[in-house]
């Protein structure tokens, strides 16, 4: 039986005349269908969010009431963990171990964290000045459009929505047209907690068809986008028609630096996770591994051995370590990067092709792929592949490693593997990246901000800094001069 999901607008589940099939990337077959928003539905969603903010109760309810709504959403996600994990695996192809133990519980914890900390972070401040008092108020931005990518559909939706709602905004969530199902399930959870109508609206559709209308409309006060650099640039153009607040997380080409005194087993295992988790379809994927020449051969030997052991398969199988890519189109893009690397002279050490296992033939599978002998000028070293493709380079001295790591238009993430923490901190200070992990990879915490620089975008998600992105800061100045007679009041009053 095919699953079906309508849109969620103004507290109601709404069908549209246009429908879209949702493909399981492990089988290449449709298993669900969703309504697709067209002009009327986009207009209805924007209007609902605008009316709910301007004339509704949401932004004016107490912080404790807002907290309770977020906690109910968190618990609603936890109550459906098994169902959501299976659905996320069916829709994205990623192994069910990842969705069960990482994606779904992490999404719930995000709502819980911001629920429990919104009163602390959104507290008004009072500053005593020389002859006045300033009161700094954190207020919601207004209507916020949340645009979520296909690699972490529920988790990134939770990041954005939890923060936006915590601050009192109303939202329009647009999940990727490839992976909208868990976002639409989130709409069901929200509907059951009694949130006021219009506060949350969830509409599906391609960026090409509805992105311009959402991002250029003057009734929208803010856009929070995670996705590709090329789409991000289009959103910047759309939003320029009516100035609004933006958060842009646009991907990366992240590097790790592995020094000779690193724990080699730790570095190898961490590096495997950093590029092959979620089939390499991560903004923070460490696709450039830089290894000091003293340990390069040993690292490469161990890394290659373990890469060959990675088990590809249907994500619903708990033994699967790597699932398919999201689509045939994405696989063709990855293959094009691989072929370009070979023509430019990079050495393909392993993988680089569609697996010949008959049981995988209908899905969008691609082998974990390892290149060596890469020059910094090569496309494979510079461009974001967004697939299970890694370059392993050697370096002789630390300055060379720093130069190679920073030789990118992106500046999102990095890893450093070394036993000397003080040396690692000094090195981290010289690496151009928004988040740097030392002797680990991919540790995201709700307590601390995440976001990059350069072509990786701007703005932060998570932490106090991320939450406050979804607010506007108002400064109210109260005169405190003696007898309430400031000089400015008499400047022309003689």
**Which residue shows structure tokens 């829709």?**
91
Q: Please confirm, yes or no, whether 273 is among the known catalytic residues.
A: no
Measured distance CA(256)–CA(325) in Å, rounded: 23
Q: Are 200 and 171 in contact (CB under 8 A)?
A: yes
- What sections of 395-436 are H helices per DSSP? 398-406, 421-428
Measured distance CA(474)–CA(468) in Å, rounded: 12
Tell the burial category of 215 from Cβ atoms under 10 Å away from its Cβ (0-12, 13-18, 19+). buried
Q: Please confirm, yes or no, whether 283 is among the known catalytic residues.
A: yes
Q: What distance lies between CA 371 and its chain's CA centroid? A: 27
Please identify which of the residues 167, 215, 283, 391 carries the catalytic annotation.
283
Closest CA to 169 of 181, 182, 160, 158: 160
Please identify which of the residues 41, 249, 367, 384 carries the catalytic annotation.
249
Residues ≥6 apart with Cβ < 8 Å to 472:
138, 139, 140, 141, 245
Closest CA to 387 of 413, 354, 412, 420: 354
Q: Are 291 and 395 in contact (CB under 8 A)?
A: yes
User: Which residues of 130-182 form beta strands (DSSP E)?
Assistant: 132-140, 143-147, 170-174
Residue 396 DSSP code: S
Catalytic residues: 249, 283
């Amino acid at each position: 039986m095919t699953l079906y999901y309508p849109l969620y607008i103004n507290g109601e589940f709404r069908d549209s005349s246009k429908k879209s099939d949702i493909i399981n990337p492990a089988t290449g077959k449709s298993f669900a269908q969703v309504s697709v928003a067209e002009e009327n539905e986009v207009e209805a969603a924007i209007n609902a969010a605008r009316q709910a903010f301007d004339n509704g109760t949401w932004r004016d309810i107490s912080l404790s009431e807002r907290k309770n709504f977020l906690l109910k959403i968190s618990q609603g996600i936890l109550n459906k963990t098994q169902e959501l994990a299976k659905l996320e695996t069916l829709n994205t192809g990623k192994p069910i171990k990842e969705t069960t133990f990482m994606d779904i519980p992490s999404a719930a914890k995000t709502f819980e964290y911001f629920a429990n900390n919104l009163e602390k972070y959104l507290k008004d401040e009072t500053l005593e000045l020389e002859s006045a008092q300033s009161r700094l108020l954190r207020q919601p931005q207004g209507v916020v459009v949340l645009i979520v990518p296909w690699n972490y559909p529920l988790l990134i939706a939770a990041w954005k929505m939890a923060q936006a709602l915590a601050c009192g905004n109303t939202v329009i969530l647009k999940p990727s047209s490839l992976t909208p199902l868990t976002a639409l399930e989130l709409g069901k959870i929200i509907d059951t907690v009694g949130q006021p109508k219009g506060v949350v609206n969830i509409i599906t559709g391609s960026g090409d068809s509805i992105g311009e209308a959402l991002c250029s409309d003057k009734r929208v006060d803010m856009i929070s986008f995670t996705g590709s650099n090329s789409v991000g640039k289009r959103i910047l153009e759309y939003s320029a028609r009516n100035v609004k607040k933006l958060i842009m997380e646009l991907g990366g080409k992240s590097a790790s630096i592995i020094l000779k005194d690193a724990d080699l087993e730790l570095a190898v295992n961490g590096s495997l996770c950093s590029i092959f988790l979620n089939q390499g379809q991560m903004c923070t994927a460490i696709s450039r591994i830089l290894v000091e020449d003293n340990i390069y051969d040993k690292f490469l030997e161990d890394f290659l051995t373990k890469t060959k052991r990675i088990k590809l398969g249907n994500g619903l199988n708990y033994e699967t370590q790597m699932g398919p890519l999201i689509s045939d189109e994405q696989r063709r893009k990855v293959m094009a990067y691989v072929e370009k690397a070979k023509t430019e002279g990079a050495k393909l050490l392993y993988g680089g092709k569609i697996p010949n296992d008959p049981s995988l033939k209908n899905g969008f599978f691609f082998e974990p792929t390892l290149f060596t002998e890469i020059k910094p000028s090569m496309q494979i070293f510079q461009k974001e592949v967004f697939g299970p493709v890694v370059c392993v380079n050697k370096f002789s001295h630390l300055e060379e490693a720093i130069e190679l790591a920073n030789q990118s238009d992106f500046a999102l993430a990095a890893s450093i593997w070394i036993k000397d923490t003080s040396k690692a901190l000094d090195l981290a200070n010289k690496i151009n990246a928004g988040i740097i992990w030392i002797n680990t990879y991919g540790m995201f915490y709700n307590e601390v901000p995440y976001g990059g620089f350069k072509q990786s975008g701007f703005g932060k998600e998570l932490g106090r800094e991320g939450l406050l992105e979804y607010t506007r800061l108002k400064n109210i100045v109260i005169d405190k001069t003696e007898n309430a007679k400031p000089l400015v009041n008499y400047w022309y009053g003689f």
